[in-house]
Amino acid sequence: MDDTPNQLPSTLPALRAKAADAGFAMSCEDRTGNLLTVLAAARPGGRILELGTGAGEGAAWLLSGMDPTSRLTTVELDAEVQAIAREELGGDPRVTFVAGDGGAWLEEYDGPPFDLVFADTWPGKFTHLDRALELVAPGGTYLIDDLLPQPGWPQDHTTSVEHLLIELDAHKDFRCVRLAWASGLLMAVRTA
């Protein structure tokens, strides 16, 4: 079976070209993006949080699955990289861009929980994990990627990933599934 997505967001070619021009090479992998589309589509009227906008490919996948009443908040530390996403996706009223440190944003956020949290950066995954999990609504989904070895990982990063997986499996109010697929994913659903 070929698991290559056959429907891509219309904004992907422009986002990819601009990301390449900017030297940004850490965009969302297509199979992960396709999963994001499906998860967003499963939440009509959903509140979605993306930690790590990057150049906007993950946001494009999420937006392609969202209905007109869903809302996406996407947070990125690097305002210059996020500017690519803002330029291509900023006209969509369903998305709110936040430029700033994801950890600080998580600490300061005091709004309602999210139906889907995609943590694609350190805050919400390797730091501030408990806070990100607190923001997942009952029945909501938490998704992380890049768990399989990647080129350029720091020497001790494999240990960090193993610790993260053990920590997530220990959360009694989440059911987790590990997926040795795409860049390596873990999806967790809040049960309580």
pLDDT of residue 150: 81
Which among 122, 98, 117 has a CA at the least distance from the CA of 108? 98
Phi, psi of 92 (to 5 degrees): -85, 115
Strand stretches in 33-179, DSSP E: 47-51, 71-76, 95-99, 114-119, 136-144, 174-179
pTM assigned to the model: 0.96
| pLDDT tens digits along 161-190 | 999 999 999 999 999 999 999 999 999 999
pLDDT at 23: 86
Architecture of domain 12-190: 3-Layer(aba) Sandwich (3.40)
Q: In which residue are the tokens 């969302």 written?
A: 28
Instruction: Decide: helix, strand or coil at residue 14.
Output: helix
Residue 33 in contact with residue 63, Cβ under 8 Å? no
Q: According to the model, what pLDDT value does residue 154 have?
A: 81
Q: What is the pLDDT of residue 137?
A: 98
> How far is CA 51 from each of CA 1, 54, 155, 166, rounded to the nearest angstrom?
31, 9, 24, 21
What does the pLDDT read at residue 80?
95
Residues of the chain with pLDDT under 70: none
HSE on the CB side for 82, CA within 13 Å? 20
Output the pLDDT for position 156. 86
Contacts with 68 (C-beta within 8 Å, 6 or more apart), sequence order = 94
Domain boundary assignment for the chain: 12-190
pLDDT of residue 61: 97
Looking at residue 155, what is its pLDDT? 82
| Largest Cα span, the chain | 45
